[in-house]
Structure 1
Amino acid sequence: MKTIFVDGYNVINSWPNIKPIIDYSLDSARQKLIEIVQNYAEYTGNKVFVVFDAHMVKGSIEKKERMGNVVVVFTKYGETADSYIERAANNMGRKVEICVVTSDLLEQQLVFQRGAVRKSSIEFYNEINNVNSKLRKKIKKRNSETKNRLEDLLEENILEKLDKIRKSH
């Protein structure tokens, strides 16, 4: 299991399926990102921190909410998502495998120096799409294997009678 830190607003502004939602509601865009990441974390077993800046919200305190393998973090007043991620990656050291998702090049360089793997927002978007594709195939296969058809459940003589009725109409 690896630990992934996602720069929430950076990802929202980079992903083509979430960016248009911002026009309607930033809260909706955040919820959509969290939902997508929850599915990803559940499938992969990775622990994911989705970090949102609240550094411009006066009086804001750091808030964390755990949802399965996903921890949603709103930073405290005066702290950016970047600085939270840097601090958390530094505190974890090299004890766990860490991946940071951001398209901020400076942030990528800083976390790389701390031993974390860096991934751009678009690379993560593509990875999630691949995971979703695998999941859909798995579900489709499972559904096709467990599909109960009427022909499989009825006795032969009843099927013949139904077939005669169908042909007569």
Structure 2
Amino acid sequence: MADWRDVLLVDGYNMIGGWPDLAELSHTSMNEARDRLLDMLADYQAYSGRRVIAVFDAYRVPGLGRAFVQGKVQVYFTKEKEIADECIERLVVELSHRRRQIYVATSDSVEQHVIFAQGALRLSARELRLEIEENQKEVKKVIKPPGARSSRHALEDKLPPEVRNKLEDWRRQS
């Protein structure tokens, strides 16, 4: 089955460097910073419906690169002598042949121009972080905290006071 969802390509180390909490964490544990980023991207993917692909440089690491899935997010480590920007550009070209919108999250201005010329839309590290934070707020509104009492009058609680009063007046008249 073909995947027709919009796609978000994320320059992983660019996001880690651009988000203060992850940048700080990366000084003590790059693995933890990567995992935290991937957790946030997995939540974002679930909420937004976009397919998320995170790309990390392995430029100085010998080998063929690797790809795997973590938390339903596709993760690519580039092959030797390939930087994340090159991999992202290649993926934009590969994915643009299908009907979907492609977004690229990077704060690298040169990369933004290149991917924009290929038809992709860009998100800066800051813009993606704000989108993720907004999504987290929306999810918290929908999910009730444990122990919260559910209202027996869900519709009633959503009605404006003047409508509730009018309905109550009608109920009492009958």
Q: Which protein has the larger Cα radius of gyration, Structure 1 or Structure 2?
A: 1
- The 5 Å alignment of 1:66-77 reads 66-67=69-70, 69-77=72-80
- Residue 114 of structure 1 corresponds to which residue in structure 2? 118
Letter aligned with residue 101 of structure 2: E
Q: Is residue 86 of structure 1 aligned with residue 89 of structure 2?
A: yes
Decide whether the 8 Å contact of 1:94 with 1:115 is kept in 2. Answer: no
Whether the aligned pair in 1 keeps the contact of 2:22 and 2:33 (CA below 8 Å) is yes
Once superposed, which parts of structure 1, at least 4 consecutive aligned residues long, lie more than 3 Å away?
Answer: 141-147
Q: TM-score, normalised by structure 2?
A: 0.78
Q: 1:79 to 1:143 in 2, by over 3 A?
A: farther
Shift of 1:137: 1.2
TM-score by length of 1: 0.81
Q: Unmatched 5+ residue regions in structure 2?
A: 152-174
- Cα RMSD after superposing both structures: 2.0
Give CA deviations for 1:100-145 in whole Å, capped at 9, x if unaligned: 0000001000000010001101000000000001011111379745
Q: Tell me, which stretches of 5 or more residues in structure 1 are unaligned?
A: 148-169
Aligned residue number for residue 135 of structure 1: 139
CA distance in structure 2 between the partners assigned to 1:29 and 1:4 by the alignment:
19
Deviations 1:6-39 (A, max 9, x none): 0000000001221110121111111110011011
